[in-house]
Structures are given as C-alpha cells and as structure tokens.
Amino acid sequence: MKELLFLVADLFMIFAGFRYGWRFIREHHNYLLGLEWFCVATSGTNFLVWTLLGGPLHGPLYEIAFFFDAFSRGVGITLIAVLGLMRVTHRYVASLPVEIGSFALAVVIGVYLGQFKDEHHLYVGPATFYVVVNALATVFFVYFSWRLWKIRATSAAAFTGVATLAAVVVAWTYNFFPFPDDEYRTGFYIFALTVWGLQELAYFRGYKALHDHNVARGLEPASAAQAVHA
C-alpha cells in the first residue's frame, strides 16, 4: 500500500510540475518559474524510473536524483522561485543574464553537493545550508501569502500558506528530524512529494491571482523592455 501511495504522490508532483510549468511559460512568459517547475517534474520522473527499475543505490539514476535534489532545494525552489514570483509582487522581470546566472548557480550547487552523498555527511554542512536557504525563501513566501490575503484572495492565500508551512516541515525533517519509517523512507517521501506537488500548484494559483489583480488595476507586470535589471 505504501508503495502505491508513493507512486501516486510522485506522479502528482510530476504532473503538477509539467502542467503548471508549461502554463507559467505559455500564459505568463515566466521562464524562471516554468523551467524550475520542469526541473522538479524531471527530478520526479527520474525518481519514478529509478524506483520502478529497482536501480542500485549508487548507480546513474541515484546520481541524477541527488543532483536534482540539490539543484532545487539549494537554489531552484528558493532563489529562482522568489525571483520568479517577484514579477507579480514587485513587477520585477529578471534580465536574461540573471535568468541564466540563476540556473547556472543551481547547476554548480547541484554538482558541488554531489560529493556529500553519504547519509552521515548530510547532517552537517549541506543539511544546514538547505534549511537556511529554505528559511530565507520562506520569509518571502509568507509575504507572498500576505499579499494574496490583502487583495482578498483568501483561498489562494491560505493554500499558499499551508503549502509553505508543510515545505518547512519537509526541510527540517529531511535530515535533522527523520520520523520512524522503513529503510527506504517511503512514508517520508510520500509526504514530501505530495507537499512539493502542492507547492507547485499553490504558487501557480497565487501567482495567477496576483497577476489578474494587477491587470485589473492597470498594473500588469512590466515587459522585458521596461524591466528593472539587477
């Protein structure tokens, strides 16, 4: 039963990543969020294939899974997500060098943290890094939820807030406070994959609500030519 729930949770995260990533690009031309959502979905796809094939613990699929994990937890769902959401909170459109630099940084972090694959290493530097960057991003996500509440998008605000809080729980329990589970941590991954999928959905809904509000007030996000460049 746990294995089935794991597959359902992973498929949900994959679906949310590809669907809402594509909608970010197609409907809002937001490549930061769209491509990051694609990265999360691709990570989930690799995780699914690895699980179904019963790949070895330190085989190629494991290496890819660890890279994507570090990519998104370190930079993707933190820095890149914040920059992407700032389009509707601050009318900020990242320049092409900022977009490329953000993903390049995520790749560097993913590759660098690839040396810390042993479980006992993750309780020191890398785990602390993940928790710190998650905490910094959470400050913005709480602000994002407040902005939604302020425009009376209460359901989107509540959804975003709950998804953000659940993601904080995942970040802390990932390495520091693992709850009792089987040797593959199946129960934890069911929870984590579900939360990450809900994050993808919640932030898209919140983004759309703020975008529609801005358009209604004549404050549509700036075009690339009018963007504030970092």
Instruction: Give the model confidence (pLDDT) of 166-186 as tens digits.
Output: 999 999 888 777 777 776 778
> Each residue of 91-121: pLDDT tens digit?
999 999 999 999 999 999 999 887 776 554 4
Query: Has residue 220 been placed in a domain?
Result: no
pLDDT digits (tens, 9 = 90+) for 78-93: 999 999 999 999 999 9
Inside any domain, residue 102: yes
Q: What is the pLDDT of residues 200-223, one digit of tens each?
A: 999 999 999 999 999 988 877 444
Q: Is the pLDDT higher at 119 or at 54?
A: 54
Whether 56 maps to a domain, the answer reads yes
In total, how many domains does the chain have? 1
DSSP letters, the chain, are: -HHHHHHHHHHHHHHHHHHHHHHHHHHH--HHHHHHHHHHHHHHHHHHHHHHHT--TTSHHHHHHHHHHHHIIIIIIIIIHHHHHHHHHS-----HHHHHHHHHHHHHHHHHGGG--SGGGGGSHHHHHHHHHHHHHHHHHHHHHHHHHHTT-HHHHHHHHHHHHHHHHHHHHHHTSPPS--TT-HHHHHHHHHHHHHHHHHHHHHHHHHHHHHHHTT-PPPPGGGPPP-
225 in any annotated domain: no
Residue numbers of the domain that contains 65: 2-215
pTM for the model: 0.89
CATH number of the domain where residue 173 is located: 1.20.1070
Residue 221 lies in a domain: no
Tell whether 20 is covered by a domain. Answer: yes
* Domain membership flag for residue 101: yes
Domain contains 227: no
